[in-house]
Amino acid sequence: MCKSVCVIGGGACGLATVRAFLEEGGFEKVVGFEQRPSFGGIWNYNELADQNLSIPSVDPLAVVNPIKTENGYVWPNAVYDALETNTPYPLMEFRDYKFPESTPLFPHRSVVLDYISRYGEDLRQHYRFNTRIVEVRRGQKWIVRSRTVCDATAGGFKESDSVPDTVEEYDAVMVATGVYDLPLIPELKGLRQWHEKFPNTILHSKTFRSPRELAGLEGNILVIGNSASGIDICYQFARYTGRNIYKSARSASRVPGGTSDLVIEMPDISHLDPETASVFFVDGRRLENVGCIIFATGFLRSLPFFAEINRSEKPLITDGSRIHGLYRHCWSYEHPGLAFIAISRYVLPFHVAEIQGIWLAKILQGKIFLPSFAEMASQERQLLGLRGNLPAFHDLLYPDDIEYMDLLMKDIRMASDNGPLPKEWTELEIALRKNTKLLKARCLQHFERTGQHLTLREALSLNIIDTGQ
């Protein structure tokens, strides 16, 4: 029986996991680790951005270093100044823990950080802050090496005799470190030469903080990517500067976002020509006088503290497209006792983490029984045949995300105990999920007209959605 659990990550998903294990009971030791000095994970905004980008950036074994400041070490993340969620806040709420009623339907990043911090306040005693996980490997149990983030350890990146590492054993390890850490900048013809000729003109969405930083740039600005960050960077720039901005997209976007006639849609890229500062597209068009290229191309799957496993015959990470050997995008059937929280794109991560945490706690307490190794491996192979070894492998778009959560809920309900249950979907929440793109568009339009953000009550009064009630 599992008695000790290590949870890596102090963002919303890590907190939900720790709470699930504590509420389930039966565990003698539940310890959370967070490299930052506080809760919040990706929602911890800092104006400092990681400028040490590898171009191209395609190595999933690369490590993201913190930035040393007078006040300590900062881990730059993918949150920018004016970021607002693209998910209605009721879909982000944990069980029995609400956002204030006056919250805008799509809240600002600072509101989300405050919500997470308050949610985790009673869990602080179970966390070790300013502590970086440097190694996780398998022995008789899971061996976890952690290191204090301080000057003596260079922010947790070198061993120190004065501040030695801590090595502990755990029965299980839950990884809730998110998927927005290591930028993906794919190889393009001419990219390396462009970077050599025009240094500091290649950016990634992770380094974006404000359209003010781009407003004074000369030449055309090209954003590559058509998901949340690409759409938002273009919208913010166009709205702030009143200038055209170009966006290269392979396909239609799956997420909501703002629109502007100043955002000029372009197709996929053929190649870059640094000699003429031009970008060529697959349809033969050419964009000249390009002064800045922003890659909004997502992130690599990266698990640097699993170096030993990744060198083994059963690696978790190969090319960074996905995590290998998982049942239901969560449980490692190749490495029992290891699980990954909310790694799928397009899901509602807070809600998914809460359900996965309860599901995993019951598995480790012997209340939910998993299929055989052969069956779990077979299910992964079937999914691989459908989706390929691509970043989309773990994606769960609506309504796949709801069906996925229902699968876990079914297991949880069948467990023979009276333990905690995740919150059930309400008709309103299902309607919000189904109509998120429309709601986001209407809220942005309302803000542009009035300068005011719509609350949930106000949005419902506009009869934008049918709640089924």
343-361, pLDDT tens digit by residue? 999 999 999 999 999 999 9
Burial-class residue 315 by CB neighbours within 10 Å (0-12, 13-18, 19+).
middle
29: which 2 tokens? 């030791």
Question: CATH classification of 4-181+300-415 is 3.40.50.1970, yes or no?
Answer: no
103-141, pLDDT tens digit by residue? 999 999 999 999 999 999 999 999 999 999 999 999 999
pLDDT of residue 469: 45
The DSSP line for 306-326 is GHHHHTSSS-S-SSSS--SSE
Tell me if the bond preceding 315 is cis, omega within 30° of 0. no
Do residues 453 and 443 make contact, with C-beta atoms less than 8 angstroms apart?
Answer: yes
* Coil/strand/helix, residue 120: helix
Lowest mean pLDDT among 52-56, 259-263, 289-293, 465-469: 465-469
Tell me the sheet residues that pair with 57: 185
Spatial separation of the C-alpha atoms in residues 204 and 213, rounded to whole Å: 13
pLDDT of residue 332 exceeding 80 = yes
pLDDT of residue 467: 59
Lowest mean pLDDT among 20-24, 178-182, 364-368, 413-417: 413-417
Spatial separation of the C-alpha atoms in residues 188 and 270, rounded to whole Å: 8
Sheet holding 326-327, edge to edge: 127-128, 29-33, 4-8, 172-175, 338-340, 331-332, 326-327
pLDDT of residue 21 exceeding 80 = yes
pLDDT of residue 341: 98
Strand runs (DSSP E) across 263-412, as ranges? 263-266, 269-273, 278-281, 286-287, 290-295, 299-300, 326-327, 331-332, 338-340
14: which 2 tokens? 């890590």
Kind and range of the H or E run holding 136: strand 131-138
The mean pLDDT value of the chain amounts to 94
Do residues 136 and 143 make contact, with C-beta atoms less than 8 angstroms apart?
Answer: yes
Spatial separation of the C-alpha atoms in residues 340 and 7, rounded to whole Å: 10
376-428, pLDDT tens digit by residue? 999 999 999 999 999 999 999 989 999 999 999 999 999 867 777 888 888 89
Spatial separation of the C-alpha atoms in residues 244 and 242, rounded to whole Å: 7
* Coil/strand/helix, residue 50: coil
φ and ψ at residue 211, rounded to 5 degrees = -65, -20
Spatial separation of the C-alpha atoms in residues 293 and 272, rounded to whole Å: 10
226-242, pLDDT tens digit by residue? 999 999 999 999 999 99
Spatial separation of the C-alpha atoms in residues 52 and 193, rounded to whole Å: 18
pLDDT of residue 446: 92
pLDDT of residue 466 exceeding 70 = no
Residue 59's nearest CA partner among 254, 367, 317 is 317
Asked whether the whole model's pTM tops 0.85, one would answer yes
Superfamily (CATH) of domain 191-295:
FAD/NAD(P)-binding domain (3.50.50.60)
Binned at pLDDT 50, 70 and 90, residue 1 comes out as: confident
pLDDT of residue 418: 73
Topology match between the domains 4-181+300-415 and 191-295: yes
pLDDT of residue 468: 54
Do residues 50 and 67 make contact, with C-beta atoms less than 8 angstroms apart?
Answer: yes
199: which 2 tokens? 């240094």
β-bridge pairing 331-332 and 326-327: antiparallel
164: which 2 tokens? 């030695």
Spatial separation of the C-alpha atoms in residues 345 and 220, rounded to whole Å: 31
Q: What percent of the chain has pLDDT over 90?
A: 88
Ranges of each domain in the chain: 4-181+300-415, 191-295, 427-462
DSSP secondary structure code for residue 138 in this structure: E
Mean pLDDT of 360-371: 96
Spatial separation of the C-alpha atoms in residues 388 and 159, rounded to whole Å: 40
pLDDT of residue 416: 67
pLDDT of residue 461 exceeding 90 = no
